[in-house]
Structure 1
Amino acid sequence: MYYESISKAMLENCMKVVVRKTNQSRNLSIGMFVNHGSKDETIHNNGISHFIEHMAFSHENMNVAAKQMVGDLLDNGARYEAYTGKEMTRCCITSQTSYSKDIIKALSNIVKFRDIPEERIKHERAIILQEADTYFASSKVKTELSERTLWGERSLGLFVIGNQENISRFTKEDIESRFQKYYTPSNTLMVIQGNVDPDEIINNIATEFDFWRNNKVSNPLPMLEVSPSVTGIGNSNRVNLTISFVGPSFRSRKKYAMAILSDILGDGLKSRLFLELREKRELVYSIYSYSLSYGLGGYLAIDLNCQKEKLDECFNVVMEIVKDIQGKGVTSEELERARASRITSTLQIPNDSVRHLNTTGRYALYNKDFFVDNEVFELMSITEEDVREIANEMCDESNMALSAVGTNSESLISLL
């Protein structure tokens, strides 16, 4: 007996297709995932992946046929999403199952991206510059600032949105040539999730994308050999501090131990950081931790907001808690609570069709299959010693980056 199944195919043009048949689903989600993001950029063209997403996947910028097809789907209740990340760009459409052929045809027309009008580039440039202003003035900047501090101005350390100077000078030729280079069948993955016949929908995709010829593509080699550093920006009476430790990549099984450690430290009302810094010492209002794993690398981050004069005390308490876990380990109660929370979150993924699709696509880009029960198995296999071991392996000053909004780098250096 089995609970989940995935069908895979490689089309003649080398585009990969993954179909997850979900009998209980009454909607259909189809996503196109392209192995192209800010990891493939340099400081000189940082932001071009995001600019391409705006030009290729924004409804108003599509060619006439694609615009009509996507518009018709939206009129009939479809949900449309486009997104650029560090490691990929995706375009996803969720609708009723009866619209499967329309979705596939629309996506096939979207990739017929060429000869974009200059006025559309000018218009979208203004929108992206507005987005950049909003982005750097919001809390969104915290995560990417911590990643910049971990990996420097390269690969995973580059901001997805890019810098405003680059955004202002990207040309029509820059955008179109970059699209032609990276948006190829062999660099693209199609993920379909719903109550569909795998063979039928794979054949439909093969027919609609038959025009798309493959070009040789070679993504740049990753460059992550940068030592973690310290970055502080702004000046305020309150500081948002992020303490980050370099950790295992997505491909490592140690990512599960890192996730459990993160939850024990700062996930929820019973986490060590919350109980000590907020409830006992009243030093902060907000404190939490999280872990992220990319294909190229991963990290654990502790995020807190405190008064500037309390920054030293907060940092020292955090490090004391980390060192306590390194020395004494965690309790069985902490492990069980964190594991149960992770499992609950994992079991919820299939209930959200878009999240499920994106998770399946992300795993597939790493040449892995996402199955809920496999994730539960991996979490159940984590022991107290695994958590203590990953804490000792990761949480060292030589492996630590500090970033903050509300104070300068010099004040952060003084914490060390």
Structure 2
Amino acid sequence: MTSATEFPLSQPEMTFETSAGSLIRRTVLPNGLRILSEAMPASSSATLGFWVGVGSRDELAQDLSAGASGFGSTHFLEHLLFKGTPTRSALDIAIAFDSVGGEHNALTAKEYTCYYARVRDEDVSMATTVLADMIASSELDPEEFERERGVILEELAMREDDPGTAVWERFFEAVLGEHPLARAIGGTPDTINACTREAVLEHYRRNYRPEDVVISAAGAIDHDSLVADVSAALEAAGWDLSVRSEPVARRSLVAVETTRATDVFVEYRPIEQVHLLIGGAGIAMRDERWLVMSVLNSILGGGMSSRLFQEIREKRGLAYSVYSFSTSYSDTGVFGLGAACTPAKTREVADLMLAELRLLAEDGVTEEEMSRALGQLSGASALALEDSDARMSRLGRADLLVGEFLDLDATLARLSAVTAEDVRDLARDLAARPLTITAVGAIEENIFAGFGESPEGKN
């Protein structure tokens, strides 16, 4: 398979084979629920994911019906769905997976939420049934709600105590400004304290419906059995599967302009290292240059042979951690350079990182660097698909976010078509954009006076 396979929302059944020989099947139930599976030969376990296309960016400042703050609802709900249904207590849910050696968890992202489990092949039916019950009939018990508020506040405190995590949240706020993606995924202590059960319940009712959900599974999976188990579990949990509905439209993939909040943000903390991020707006999810960005990242800061690692760590010994990064969302993205170093070295490290980006934009890359990057990315892409977790995620994201499935062979073919000139052009684009510098550590903002100025005095 050398081209992408489209996932039309209106097509009830699909079956196709990947280049690796695994079989992918897709069923869209009459109520709009989408179920996908990838059978992996010789596998004796499976990973299942229940995906909902709502994340922290979709929360409302004021709940539609309750008039209460909805910020933090997504994170709240992720916790609460493990706290019991009319037929299962929180302990019952935990025991169901613990007693078979399975793993189960959830994650909240900026544009989706996923509840997942990994179990042996003989326990797939159980895992499907329990996850379906959690999704469809969570009780959101008021007492559990208040207890979980305390748990979430402790989680946020733990994250805030980690400067390496805190700098990322400040970076998104600085680079994306008023855009909803700028908000912290988990919320803040203020928003979690202000969030009410009524707001979370409204969020649940509004976004957790059959037409909002994608279920993906990979490994030792029988698709027909999966569909039957899902249907039976959801009906038992109270969803009326006879109600016909189309899947909800996917999020718009049209890129938008964002306005940064500031060009420099420094949060003083009396700690041993400064955690530093430099960057700005990147590329959106459907930007045709997404593979070019992967190659650029590999060359600039994607490994031990990258330019940033060699120049800043290996040649100069200025930092232990130094890298580049890119994250894409449906309508925008962020790109940047990161490092952690002692306060006295911060400005030198910042100047060197920016200099490497500009050098890449001015002089381009060598054929040797291109060959190394293509090899690194090709190998990493293939190795990532060795486990069922990655394949489950690939399926879920493909249907929920972009509406097409890109096989490994198709990805590698497109990757091999990236040229050195493509990388240089993208580097020029990124280097010309307004950059923001964000730091957490024992420094003051004035350390960055004049940072990034060209000889003409412009960023």
Common fold, TM-score beyond 0.5?
Answer: yes
> One-letter code of the match for 1:49?
T
| Residues 1:225 and 2:273 aligned together | no
Check 1:411–1:205 CA distance in 2 against 1; reply closer, same or farther (3 A cut). same
Alignment of 1:208-357 (within 5 A): 208-210=233-235, 211-213=238-240, 225-227=258-260, 229=262, 230-236=264-270, 238-357=273-392
CA distance in 1, matches of 2:269, 2:159: 18
Deviation (angstroms), 1:146? 1.9
Q: State percent identity of aligned pairs.
A: 24
Residues 192 and 269 of structure 1, relative CA distance in 2, 3 Å threshold? closer
Task: Provide the rounded CA distance (Å) in 1 between the counterparts of 2:183 and 2:404.
Answer: 25
Matches within 5 A, 1:108-123: 108-113=132-137, 115-123=139-147
Secondary structure in 2 matching 1:392? helix
Tell me which moved more, 242-251 or 75-84. 242-251
1:201 aligns with 2:236: no
Tell me the matched-pair count: 413
- Per the TM alignment, residue 218 of structure 1 is displaced from its structure 2 partner at its CA by 8.2
- Relative to the length of structure 1, the TM-score reads 0.91
Per-residue CA deviation, residues 34-91 of structure 1 (Å, 9 max, x unaligned), is 11111112565332100111111x2x44444364355223211111111111111111
How far does residue 243 in structure 1 lie from its aligned partner after superposition?
1.0
C-alpha change, 1:413 and 1:175, in structure 2 (3 Å) is: farther
Q: CA deviation at 1:187?
A: 1.2
CA contact (8 A) 1:66 1:109 kept: no
Partner of 2:410: 374
Worse-matched range after superposition: 250-259 or 177-186: 250-259
Shift of 1:358: 2.0
Unaligned runs of 5+ in 1: none
Note if 1:81 corresponds to 2:112: no
Residues 247 and 258 in structure 1, CA contact (< 8 A), matched pair in contact too: no
- In the alignment, residue 209 of structure 1 is paired with which amino acid? L
CA contact (8 A) 2:84 2:138 kept: no
**Structure 1, residues 291-345: CA drift from partner, whole Å, max 9, x if none?**
2222222232211123333333222222222122111110011111112111121
Cα RMSD after superposing both structures: 2.5
Q: Deviations over 1:132-170 (max 9, x none)?
A: 100111122233322222212432111011010111122
Query: Aligned partners of 1:46, 1:412: CA distance in 2, in Å?
Result: 33
Which stretch of structure 1 is more off in the superposition, 40-49 or 243-252?
40-49
1:389 aligns with 2:414: no
In 1, distance between residues paired with 2:449 and 2:36? 48
Change in Cα spacing, 1:112 to 1:282, as seen in structure 2 (3 Å) is closer
More helix by share: 1
User: Residue type of the partner of 1:326?
Assistant: A
Deviates most, 165-174 or 32-41: 165-174
Q: 1:52 to 1:415 in 2, by over 3 A?
A: same
The alpha-carbon distance between structure 1 residues 115 and 21, as it changes in their structure 2 partners (threshold 3 A), is closer
SS at match of 1:351: coil
Residue in 2 that maps onto 1:32? 50
**Cα deviation 1:191-241 (Å, max 9, x = unaligned):** 011233323322332343344257897899898632363322124464211
Q: Note closer, same or farther for the CA distance 1:162–1:120 as it changes in structure 2 (3 Å cut).
A: same
Distance in structure 2 (CA, Å) of the matches to 1:238 and 1:96: 44
Alignment of structure 1 residues 88-103 onto 2, 5 Å: 88-103=112-127
User: Which of 169, 176, 187 is 1:144 aligned to?
Assistant: 169
- Partners of 1:218 and 1:66 in 2: CA distance: 34
